[in-house]
Every structure is written in structure tokens, then in C-alpha cells.
Structure 1
Amino acid sequence: MNPFEKIFNYQVISRLDDSGTFMVTAHERAWLKKMLKHPAAEEAFTPETRQKLQGLLQSIEELSTSDYLTEKAKSAEKQVYHPLLRILRRHIVERSGIRISFQVKRGRVQPDRSGLAYKLEYSMVKREWYLLWYDLRRHALMSTRLSKLISIAPEPLDPAAADQVYEEIARTLDSRKTETVLEVVREYHKELSRILYAFSCFEKTVEYDEEQGTYRLRVCVLGDEVEYLLSKIRFLGKRVRILEGDYLKRRMLEASTKALERYGDEVSPNADEVELSS
């Protein structure tokens, strides 16, 4: 495989995204051809899509893992793909109404709730899919694990009513959003791809200041995602600086102060000098 087949450069990738172009390496094509033989592929793709992909990959050599990979005993893992994903995506794209029944705490069941599917989200921490939907009876935005869904069926919904619901959802989400601006420290510009990847799961825009030669990230998160954003900022350390966002600045200051209180007195003034003894 040509090692330069995929270029990890922000300017190039952003321009390709704007034109609707997606780069796929030979290794990724070989991996996809092998994964199409996995039993989960039958649920993940419609027969027509699967057949089309197999035709496009016919000339690609399948990825062989038997020579250098050995699967050992492991604990049970949750399946990343869920059978309802394709059905729910169709409802979201078509903005059609749904009638769902789902399980809540202590095994209780909420039957036949009318709503509108809005978005699918995947939790990297819990390794589960969530459906973000609007409950038409309670006029509330709900988040339900796909593993708790018992049944789902289409329900007629007037397009004008669906538009009003989407406007209500947008207002609700906007009220929960927190916006912050981060600056990439110049000496770490060479790690820009890694830094952008760390924030890839957030809604963001990237700006380049030609006069100062710095990159700025404007990141929008919901209220319950702030702690996760903080963990990413701490992970990157000196590579980024918070320019806007009083709450985030205060939390970072608190964390730094506590760290200094715990470890500050233990740091030797000559910490950079290491004495080696046999």
C-alpha cells in the first residue's frame, strides 16, 4: 500500500469535505471487503447496498488476519451495531412520526408513546447507542437507549407539525449549549491533526488567524458534555489554551491549584537534573 495514499492535513481534508469527497485507503477497502462477510453485515446493509459494495470491491484483495492475529479468550462485548439503527435512520431522514414502547427503571414499560425521532448518538463510555426523540404527548426531548426499546412502528405525522417539532428541538438544544474558544499553542501546530482528532466528537469550527499565525477552535457542547470536554483539554495539556469560557477556565484553575497543593512541595528545584546511581 502506498504510505502517502491518505494525507492527514487539515487544509486538504477540510476542502475535500466541502466538495463531498471521501478518501478511502487500499487497506480500508480490504478491511471492508472482509467485514462484509461478517454476520452483522446482513443487518447493517440492505441486500442492494451490500451487493453493490461487494461488486465495487471485487478486484480488491481481501484482508488476511489469520497469519498474524490470534484471538484469545475475552469477556463478553456489546455489539457496536444495533439492528434498529437502519430503521431509525430512515425515520430521521424522512421526518416521519414513530410509536415506540420502551423499558425504564425497575423493568417498567412505557407502551405506545407517540414521538418524532431526531438523532442517534453513540456513547464511547457506555458503548451503547441512544435515540434522541421528541415525546409529542409530554412535549419533551427524550434520550433512550436502543437496548431498552421494545418495539417501534411508523405513525403518520403532518409535515408542518414535524417542522414545528424540529424548531422546538433546536430551541431546546440551543438553550443547553455551552460555547468555548480554544487556541492551539503555536509550538504545537505540528500536532494539529492530533489535536483536532481529540475534539472530533464535538460540534466545532476552526479558524486561522493569519496575522498571529494561530488556530482557534470554537467548540459547542451540551451541558452534560462539559466534563468530557474538560477531560480532553486536560489530556492535551500545554497544547491548547482556553480563550473564552469562564466556567471551563475556573474548573481548569481549580484542578491546577489542587494538583499544586498536592505535589508542589514535593517537586525538587532541580527536578530536571536526574542522578543515576548503580
Structure 2
Amino acid sequence: MNLFEKIFNYQLISRLEESGSYTLTSHERAWLKTMLAHPAADQAFMPDTLSKLRALLETEPTLGISDHIAQKARSAERQVYHPLLRPLRSMIMNGSGIRLTFRLKNGGVYAGHLGFPYRLEYSMVKREWYLLWHHMRHQSFMSTRLANIVSVQEEAISPEHAAALPAQIAAKLEGRKEHAVIEVVRLFNPELSRILYAFSCFEKEVDYDSDEDTYRIKLAFLGDESEYVLSKIRFLGKRIRVVEGAKLQRRMLESTVKALARYGE
């Protein structure tokens, strides 16, 4: 393999991103070809996409690990992939409505509810996929676990309605968001990439103050994800401080007081 096949240069990568291109090493291509041979690939990709990928990688070698690696028994875990992801993504892209039947927490079932799908969202806290959608009858914003969806069918709605609903849903979703500003302690500026990775699953903006040599990360997250944000803040410890976000500051103060009560003098 050419040692200079993939050049980690910021300017080069920026130009590639602007043109919609992405560089792959031969090892990454071999890994992808090996993964596409797995039976799960038939469910994860559309047939045309899968055929195209396999054709593009036809001349590439595989990793050749099947004879050397065996999967041992393990505890049960939730899978990131869900069978409803592909059909729901298609309905969202088509701007069509849905006829949804789903289960409730108490075991009841709501059948045949007409709605408009807005977005698929993966919760890092609960490790589950959710469908964000607009309930046509109640005119309300809904968030439903894919695991609770019994059935879903595509329904035609007027183009005018389909064009207006995304903006309405986006406004309601924005109202559920919380915001906070995280400041990186200057001593730990060299660890900025690690700190940003910890918050990689959230909407964020990074500002740099050249006079003070300080980075500030503006986070946006849903209210029910605040505990997950707190876990990341505690994990990063003295590298960062919460400078804006009263709720997070209050919860960090509570944690500090409890820790001092247990371990402090």
C-alpha cells in the first residue's frame, strides 16, 4: 500500500468536503468489502446501492479474517440498525404522510394515526432510534421509539401541506432545545479534539477568542439529554467549565457539594 495514499492535510480535506468527495485507503476499502459480504448488508442497504458498492469493490481484496475470528457469547445488546430505518427514510425523502400504529408504555396500542414524518433521530442516552413526526389530527409534535412501532404505511398528502409542515415542526423542535456554553480551560487547549469528540453527537458551534486564547463550545441539545451532557462534562473534569446554562451549572454544583460531603474535610 502506498504510504502516502491518504494525506491528512486540512486544506486538502476541506477542498474534498466542498466537492462532496472522500478519500479511502486500501485497508478501508478491504474492510468495507468484507463487511458487505455479511448477511446483514442485505437489510442495511437498498439493492441498487448494495450492487453498486460491490461492483466498485470487485477488484479489491478482503481482509481475510473469517477463518481467524470467532464470535463468542456475549450479553444482550440493542442493535443500532432497525428494519424500519430504510422505509421511513424513504417516506421522509418523498415528503409523504404516514399511517402509524404504535404501542404505548402501558401496553395499549394506537392504530391508524395519520401523521407527517419529519426526522429519524438516534438517542445516545437510551441507545434507540426515534421517529419525530407531526400528528395530523391532534396537531401535535410526536416522538415515537421505532421499537414501539407496530406498522407504518405511506399515505399521500397535498404538496402544499407537505411543504408547510417541516417549518412548523422545526419551530416546535427548537422550543424543546436547551443551550449551554462550555469553555475549555486554556491549559488544555491542546486536547480540543478530544473535548469536541466527547460532544460529537450534539449540535455545536466553536468560537475562539484570540486575545484570551480561549475556546468556547456552544451546545444545543434536547431537554431529556441533559443528564448525558452532564456525564460528558464530569468525564472531561478540570479540562472544561460551564460558563452558560443555569441548569447544568446547578446540577454540577449539586454533584460537587455531594462529593465534598462524602470525601471532603
**How high is the TM-score relative to the length of structure 1?**
0.85
Aligned AA (2:209): D
2:82 aligned partner, one-letter code: H
CA-to-partner distance for each residue in 1:203-237, whole Å, 9 max, x for gaps? 11112222222221111111111111111111111
**Which whole-Å CA distance do the structure 2 matches of 1:13 and 1:248 have between them?**
35
Does residue 180 of structure 2 align to residue 180 of structure 1?
yes
Paired position in structure 2 for 1:204:
204
**Counterpart of 1:276?**
none
Q: Deviations over 1:138-197 (max 9, x none)?
A: 111111121222221111112221233222212211211111111112221222211111
Structure 1 contact 40–81 (Cα < 8 Å) conserved: no
**Cα deviation, residue 254, structure 1:** 1.7
Tell me how large the CA RMSD over aligned residues is: 2.4
Give me the whole-angstrom Cα distance separating, in 2, the residues matched to 1:246 and 1:14: 36
2:239 matched to 1:239? yes
Partner in structure 2 of residue 56 of structure 1: 56
Q: CA separation of 1:82/1:143 partners in 2, compared to 1, >3 Å: closer, same or farther?
A: same
- Contact preservation (8 Å) 1:6, 1:25: no
The code of the aligned residue for 2:246 comes to D
Partner residue in 2 for 1:128: 128
Q: State whether residues 125 and 225 of structure 2, in contact with CA within 8 Å, keep that contact through their aligned partners in structure 1.
A: no
Q: Partners in 1 of 2:102 and 2:186 — Cα distance?
A: 50
* Contact persistence 2:130–2:144 (CA under 8 A): yes
In the TM superposition, residue 60 of structure 1 has moved relative to its aligned partner by 2.4
Q: 1:202 to 1:71 in 2, by over 3 A?
A: same
Query: What does residue 149 of structure 1 align with?
Result: 149
Q: How far, CA to CA, are the matches of 1:225 and 1:41 in structure 2?
A: 31
Superposed CA offset, 1:66-105 (max 9, x none): 4653322223443321121111111112221111111223
How far the C-alpha of 1:106 sits from its partner, in A, is 4.1
Which amino acid in 1 is paired with 2:158? D
Contact 2:180 2:242 in 1 (8 A): yes
2:72 aligned residue: 72
In 2, Cα distance between equivalents of 1:138 and 1:20? 40
Determine the C-alpha separation between the residues in 2 that align with 1:49 and 1:160. 31
Amino acid at match of 2:6: E
Q: Structure 1 residues 27 and 183, CA, compared in 2 at 3 Å: closer, same or farther?
A: farther
Q: 1:275 — aligned with what? A: none
Q: Residues of 1 paired with 2:198 and 2:4: CA distance?
A: 23
- 1-structure distance, mates of 2:7, 2:139: 46
Structure 1 stretch 156-165 or stretch 219-228: which is displaced more? Answer: 156-165
- Aligned partner of 1:223 in structure 2 is 223
Taking the aligned partners of 1:194 and 1:68, their CA distance within structure 2 comes to: 33
Q: Deviations over 1:107-137 (max 9, x none)?
A: 3221111001111122334432211111111
- Helix, strand or coil for the counterpart of 2:217? strand
Q: Which amino acid aligns with 1:69?
A: I
Give the TM-score, by structure 2 length: 0.89
Greater Cα offset, 105-114 or 194-203: 105-114
3-state DSSP of counterpart to 2:117: strand
> What is the match of residue 22 of structure 2?
22
8 Å CA contact 1:114–1:137 kept in 2: the answer is yes
Aligned counterparts, 1:102-117, within 5 A: 102-117=102-117
Distance 1:127 1:177 in 2: 19
CA contact (8 A) 1:8 1:193 kept: no
Q: Distance in 2 between matches of 1:240 and 1:25?
A: 35
Distance in 2 between residues matched to 1:185 and 1:262, nearest whole Å: 26
DSSP 3-state at the match of 1:183: strand
Identity %: 55
Higher deviation after alignment, 238-247 or 66-75: 66-75
